[in-house]
Amino acid sequence: MDTFDLRLPALRAAYREGRATPRALIGTLRERAAMLNPDYRLFIHLLSDEEIEPYFAALDEQDIDALPLYGVPFAIKDNIDLAGVPTTAACPAFAYMPGRSATLVAQLIALGAVPIGKTNLDQFATGLNGTRSPYGKCRNSVLANYPSGGSSAGSSLAVALGVASFALGTDTAGSGRVPAALNNLVGTKGTKGLLSTAGVVPACRTLDCVTYFTATAREASELLALTARHDPADAYSRANPQWNDAAAFGKIARFRFGVPRQLEFAGCDESPALFANARAALEAIGGEAVDIDFAPFIEAARLLYEGPWVAERYSVTDVLLETQPGAVLPVIRDVLAKAPGASAVDAFRAQYRLQTSKQRCDAVLAELDCVLTPSIPRAVTLDELERDPIGANSLLGHYTNFMNLLDYAAVATPAGFMANGLPWGVTLFGRAFTDQYLLSVADALHRKLAVPLAGHARHDTDAPAHAARDDRMKLVVCGAHLAGLPLNGQLTTRGARLVEATVSAPRYRLVALAGGAIARPGMTRDEANGAAIAIEVWDLPSAEVGSFLAGIPAPLALGKVELADGRWETGFVCEAHALEGAVDITRYGGWRAWLDRAA
């Protein structure tokens, strides 16, 4: 069992080939979890035989190939409802028995996944270390004198210790990323509203995200694609745009990634070299590093615990704190102490400050495909947390606290190990609804660094077959939309940016079209007599594509254009009938050369 591969593809193969059954495998995993629990405190409630049997019985009636997650064991953070099992949020006095499962849990079960238990967490998901629980401190999966990270402590351990294929956590300030970094996992904090939070005990309802812990980014991509659905039961649910669907996960080529000029490692001697190694690996797979000013991101992060959003946390526990203050851990009471003093005026002033930071941060991201940061400045020990529970915890959130305030997507991914064996990781983040693209970059980085997988010996070596996609579309232009020419403003006013100047594959003809107020060329494919044509590749926000397409006059259209390096990108093509009466200018090699011919 120690070597059983619980990754989604491997588990499917084992079931199909008859090497395992859900009952036998998950039974063994539950036994293992029960043995580990006294040392790691990862579970608050492991499902009993009676509680888990209905899930097995439901699978008995199904074909393996009918359910994408047939027999896949998963763990659930105990602030997320599972019908018939108490939800505690790590506070026994708060516990209740849900009559229905959280929307996301119900989705996963309908897809064939089997819940094995409810996992430990920092009480009310308030903490980033995993030690703030009356059910015990969650220690690290590798080194006993370090914490697991939190607040999704037990969920990260369930995957890292090999008792679940994946686990659900939540993330308000970093709770789905810090534990991933400390336990050699991928932690996916999707765009706010992408995964339903109906049936989740709020920390800050306006910020909360449900997260996935997995061994690989590819598994997270599959889970996200299966479950990113708008939920009418969640007022904060958002529809997933088409550019962020399953097909968006793919191969990474050229991209620009930001790197903070001001990096904080809190005195750690090893983290700078590990981060430099991750940066170099991204550059090796086609990334261009761009130094960025990180100050506005840090300014946004400071707002999270300055009053209004602490008051939002307090709104969940106020009755309990007023009637049974002893039921809440002292450190949680300390964090929430200033909440009653926060006023509506404070809330609006904080919103104004946040909006100012967001405007600056969005401007930075507009020029990039993603940003690379450490996941944490450095690890803290259990002894440090004992001496300074607030300060040591805050240090862990340095690179995470701003993410949901600014409405960004993020993926934490393994990036190596400290000399003492403790896992170390980085985070990739980007604009809302670039989740699958970020997972694509994380997958490429993880494989390039060849970091051993949690609980597994090796990586899959095969890269995705098609190109990754984000919230921008590559557009090939060959005429009046070239930089500096009359129609280029149709791109720049829509937020497009120039990616590269290059040439097409040597299979095109270029003609000067007759008529029109503005001189325009037409490019058509000609396998026998074509040549390479000078072109530019622009990057256009996907949300602007429709209005741009509507303004393209006949006989021009958008189709697929082959570039010299073999890539196929969307670009301007010309209908064949327009060639009649047009002047063939292929020999000039491009529209600019044709325009400059007289000069």
List pLDDT tens digits, range 84-110: 999 999 999 999 999 999 999 999 999
Q: Residues of the chain with pLDDT > 70: what percent?
A: 98
- What is the pTM for the complete model shown? 0.94
Active site residue 221: no
Q: Are 316 and 94 in contact (CB under 8 A)?
A: no
Give the mean model confidence (pLDDT) for residues 68-78: 98
Rg (the chain; Cα; Å): 26
Query: pLDDT tens-digit profile of 545-571?
Result: 999 999 999 899 999 999 999 999 999
Query: pLDDT tens-digit profile of 525-540?
Result: 999 999 999 999 999 9
Domain boundaries in the chain? 8-449, 472-595
Round to whole Å and give the CA distance between 141 and 147. Answer: 9
Q: Residue 117: its pLDDT value, please?
A: 98
| Helix, strand, or coil (residue 372) | strand
pLDDT at residue 455 is higher than 70: no
Closest by CA position to 161, among listed 42, 15, 27, 21: 42
CATH of region 8-449, choose from 3.40.50.300, 3.90.1300.10, 3.40.50.620, 3.10.129.10: 3.90.1300.10
Round to whole Å and give the CA distance between 585 and 350. Answer: 60
Give the mean model confidence (pLDDT) for residues 36-60: 97
Give the side-chain half-sphere CA count within 13 A for 596: 8
Give the DSSP H or E segment for 188: strand 186-189
| Helix, strand, or coil (residue 114) | strand
Q: What are the start-end ranges of the H helices in 82-197?
A: 103-110, 153-160, 178-182
The catalytically annotated residue of 148, 151, 196, 504 is 151
The catalytically annotated residue of 101, 148, 155, 175 is 175
DSSP 443-458: HHHHHHHTPPPTT-S-
Q: Residue 279: its pLDDT value, please?
A: 98
Same fold: 8-449 with 472-595? no
pLDDT at residue 1 is higher than 50: no
In the DSSP assignment, the letter for residue 462 is: P
- Return the CATH fold of 472-595: Hypothetical upf0131 protein ytfp (3.10.490)
Residue with tokens 């946390």: 313
Active site residue 77: yes
Query: pLDDT tens-digit profile of 473-523?
Result: 999 999 999 999 999 999 999 999 999 999 999 999 999 998 777 889 999
Active site residue 151: yes
Average pLDDT, rounded, for the chain:
95
Query: pLDDT tens-digit profile of 52-66?
Result: 999 999 999 899 999
